[in-house]
Amino acid sequence: MTGVNDLDKLYSLYKFFEKYKDILFKDEMGGIEYGVLDINDKDLLSALILKYYYDHYNETTLLKVDGGEWKFGTMFDLQDQIAEETYSIIIYLNSDTLPNAVVYSGIFKDNEKGIGWDLITHDDDFAIYNAKNIKMKGGQYDEVLDGGHINIPTPKKNLSNPEMEKYFNELFIHIEDIILEDMWIIEGYMEYKNNN
């Protein structure tokens, strides 16, 4: 809305307005402090970080493996996602031969454990296979293939492009490791499917 593309400047302007809103139109004002993040602004920071992700990574490829590619996406349109305060990203398996699987991940550390993530299948046959052959807990259907937390530090300095790139690079390294560690589940399902 403001036409400001530098998220750190936009955030800093918000903090400046919040600090001086009572005297904004008086003669006495201080300077805007840049490069200082307040972790208590989680919703605002999450929205700005999600916008950076959307502008720089959405619909690009993270990883190609086994005849498919894992691509970055969002759960819905960016405006709707921000309006719903749903600050999650998806990394989905795009393939003509492999089953539908998606990593749902937060983008901001939401508790002491870190950023929550889940690897989910939206393929009914795969969910049945997962319940019976992987989880083996007596269930008939389980679409959750794996889940956990990624413990990386939240951006501390600012929201500049170099800091955001560094932050997302670290997050994506962890997500890539998760996918590679769990590909055996998908490969096992494909072998089972081809033999039955």
Pick from 24-38, 54-68, 171-185: least confident: 24-38
Percent of the chain with pLDDT over 70: 86
Q: What percentage of the chain carries pLDDT values higher than 90?
A: 55
C-alpha distances out from residue 111 to 50, 72, 101, 115, 172, Å:
18, 23, 25, 7, 19
- Average pLDDT over the chain, rounded to whole? 86
| pLDDT > 80? residue 100 | yes
Looking at the DSSP bridge assignments, the partners of residue 73 are: 90
Residue 30 pLDDT greater than 70, yes or no: no
pTM score, whole prediction: 0.79
CA distance readout (Å), 7 to 46, 47, 88, 158, 191: 11, 10, 18, 9, 46
Note the pLDDT of residue 37.
57
Q: Give the Cα separation of 149 and 107 in Å (integer).
A: 11
pLDDT tens per residue, range 51-78: 999 999 999 999 999 889 999 999 988 8
pLDDT band of 31, cuts 50, 70, 90 = low
How many whole angstroms separate alpha carbon 193 and alpha carbon 196? 5
Q: In angstroms, rounded to a whole number, what is the distance separating the alpha carbons of residues 74 and 89?
A: 5
